[in-house]
Amino acid sequence: MTTAPSLVITNLAFAYPDGNQALYGVNLIVNQGERVALLGPNGAGKTTLVLHMNGIHPAMQGEISIAGQIVDAKDKEALKRIRSKVGIVFQDPDDQLFMPTVGEDIAFGPYNMGKRGAELDAIVDQALAQVGMSEFKDRPPHHLSFGQRRRIAVATVLAMKPEILVMDEPSSNLDPASRRELADILRALDVTIVMVTHDLPYAYELCERAVILSGGIIVADSSTESILKNADLLASHRLELPVGFSLS
């Protein structure tokens, strides 16, 4: 039996109410289990594209499907299912952590999907184990370091058993140790990952494939290594490797 791709975007176009056209016909397929870096300059449309994946922005033109299910903003029940399949980890973990304890934050989503009792406890414990934070279950999130809070934010999404984990600038504001720890966690996950980042070495480390979105269209889609070796391509879309970084 053939498994549907995790993500299929077909001819997606979108304009904001002020007339600003953010996307001009995006086509993209991400297969199950792939890790894909979504690169591009500021204002390229990356955030707009990501917010289409779970129906926050309704498709004006074109179509998105998640694991074979079309994202239809008008179908509230279907949209609820889609949003459980597309987990977005925002750049600032404090946008996602609002409960008194870590465990309650992680339980929030599954609880609202009807999970209770021992089943809910098992989901929370598994998500905490996946990010190496089991001992922090009863701690207040605001007492944790920034890197720890980011890992807990990842756990809140993993608890929903998503089809796609979307990471928005996952390495930003992390010290070197936290950056490495998060990379180890992401590498070990058996889930499709779309990583929005300006951190090209992190994209190279974690994603075999990269896509450049620029001016609302996809201008490159290839192996991360081949894209990062193309200096002219990077320069033309305001992307830069750090000084001294070498592709090994």
Domains, the chain, ordered by start: 7-236 (3.40.50.300)
Could you report the per-residue pLDDT of 58-105, keeping only the tens digit for each? 888 999 999 989 888 788 888 888 888 999 999 899 888 999 999 999
Residue 213 to residue 217: CA distance in whole angstroms: 6
Is the predicted pLDDT of residue 12 greater than 90, yes or no?
yes
Is the predicted pLDDT of residue 1 greater than 60, yes or no?
no
Q: Backbone phi, then psi, for 141, in 5-degree steps?
A: -60, -35
Residue 76 to residue 82: CA distance in whole angstroms: 10
Task: Determine the pLDDT at residue 2.
Answer: 55
Residue 40 to residue 239: CA distance in whole angstroms: 7
Higher pLDDT, 227 or 78: 227
Residue 59 to residue 225: CA distance in whole angstroms: 32
